[in-house]
């Protein structure tokens, strides 16, 4: 593979920092890394492969000479800068919600729909973190038995909201220990020792925007408009690592859970931890910094003809964001698709 220059927009943020770490550990043939961020951060430095690299301001002209740019700077920045980057000859992999449901923009999880990359026109969208881990776990089951209905409840870490939310949970813990008033600003209610059944704004349907992302993204990624998805998204007082309780109903009969475990053990990006006799199952505290999607508590659902329940955990900053983007970049290089359709 030819050497490439790679840019990271939002390089000093939590996901941007994780992207740079994933690039360092990846097989990408990187000759140069260019970290990009807001004007206020221009000139700051970060460590990359043992050296200090200066941050540049992201804007018109800053993408010239960059082959692939990983974006993690929010929807507004992506809306403005992604077309600029493409115009300057760059292929964009965007982590925001801005491009996910746009026509002509592939929404990609490498283990699930890598073939969609061949249709890109310069911008590729990274799915929502909760959608990514759910579909990594469910794709092999969908291929074998065709899933027709998904009921999913997510238990999402505060890092999914950003660094201010992480600090809010830390501050509330200190306030509790010191017996001081617990203050809040990021969330509408205190998050410490609490669960908030709201992520993003509510829609007229009673579902939140976060929940509908899982519905619409699942259908787009799997290419199946008929699959039914009923989500409930909950914010929990965990720093890092999203968990999901998933129940599926399939068209074809399901084998016993022991065979399901074997199918999932062979699936790319999946690690099965399912030993209830020894109380072993996936937990967010054990998945931090790891790239796999962890699956456990695999059991038949006796209330429907072809039903199965499982528990899925992944690091939302790794596979749920940074790592998925870097894996897309690796595929672009391997398949010679950096400049678009061939």
CB 316 within 8 A of CB 240: yes
The reply to whether 129 belongs to the active site is yes
CA angle 61, 325, 341 (to 5 degrees): 70
Alpha carbons 251 and 295: distance in angstroms, whole number: 22
By three-state DSSP, how is residue 122 classified?
coil
Alpha carbons 232 and 234: distance in angstroms, whole number: 7
CB 236 within 8 A of CB 195: yes
Q: How far is CA 61 from CA 13, 35, 53, 263, 292, in A?
A: 22, 14, 19, 48, 36
CB 84 within 8 A of CB 63: yes
Considering the candidates 129, 142, 287, 333, report the single residue annotated as catalytic: 129
Cα-to-chain-centroid distance, residue 182 = 31
CB 137 within 8 A of CB 312: yes
Closest by CA to 133, choosing from 287, 285, 260, 10, is 287
CB 234 within 8 A of CB 155: yes
CB 187 within 8 A of CB 157: no
| Greatest Cα pair distance in the chain | 63
Structure tokens at 316: 């939302």
Structure tokens at 198: 């709201």
CA angle 27, 30, 31 (to 5 degrees): 145
CB 221 within 8 A of CB 113: yes
Considering the candidates 18, 22, 242, 287, report the single residue annotated as catalytic: 242
So which residues are the catalytic ones? 129, 242
């Amino acid at each position: 593979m030819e050497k490439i220059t790679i840019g990271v927009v939002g390089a000093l943020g939590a996901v941007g920092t994780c992207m740079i770490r994933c690039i360092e550990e990846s097989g990408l043939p990187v000759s140069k890394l260019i970290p990009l961020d807001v004007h206020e951060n221009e000139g700051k430095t970060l460590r990359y492969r043992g050296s200090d690299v200066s941050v540049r301001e992201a804007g018109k002209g800053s993408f010239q000479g960059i082959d692939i740019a990983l974006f993690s700077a929010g929807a507004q920045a992506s809306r403005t800068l992604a077309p600029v980057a493409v115009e300057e000859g760059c292929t964009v992999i965007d982590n925001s919600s801005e491009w996910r449901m746009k026509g002509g923009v592939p929404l990609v999880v490498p283990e699930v729909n890598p073939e969609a990359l061949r249709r890109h026109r310069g911008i590729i969208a990274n799915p929502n973190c909760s959608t990514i881990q759910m579909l990594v776990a469910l794709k092999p089951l969908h291929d074998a038995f065709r899933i027709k209905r998904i009921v999913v409840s997510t238990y999402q870490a505060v890092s999914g909201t950003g660094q201010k939310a992480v600090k809010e949970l830390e501050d509330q813990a200190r306030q509790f220990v010191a017996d001081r008033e617990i203050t809040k600003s990021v969330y509408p209610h205190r998050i410490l020792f609490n669960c908030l059944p709201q992520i993003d704004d509510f829609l007229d349907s009673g579902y939140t925007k976060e929940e509908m992302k899982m519905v619409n993204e699942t259908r787009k990624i799997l290419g199946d408009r008929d699959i039914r998805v009923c989500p409930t998204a909950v914010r929990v007082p965990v720093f890092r690592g999203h968990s999901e309780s998933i129940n599926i109903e399939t068209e074809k009969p399901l084998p016993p859970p022991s065979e399901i475990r074997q199918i999932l053990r062979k699936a790319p990006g999946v690690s099965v931890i399912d030993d209830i006799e020894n109380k072993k199952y996936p937990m967010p505290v054990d998945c931090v910094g790891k790239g796999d999607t962890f699956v456990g508590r695999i059991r038949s659902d006796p209330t429907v003809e072809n039903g199965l329940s499982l528990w899925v955990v992944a690091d939302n900053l790794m596979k749920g964001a940074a790592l998925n983007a870097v894996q897309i970049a690796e595929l672009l290089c391997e398949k010679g698709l950096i400049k678009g359709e061939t």
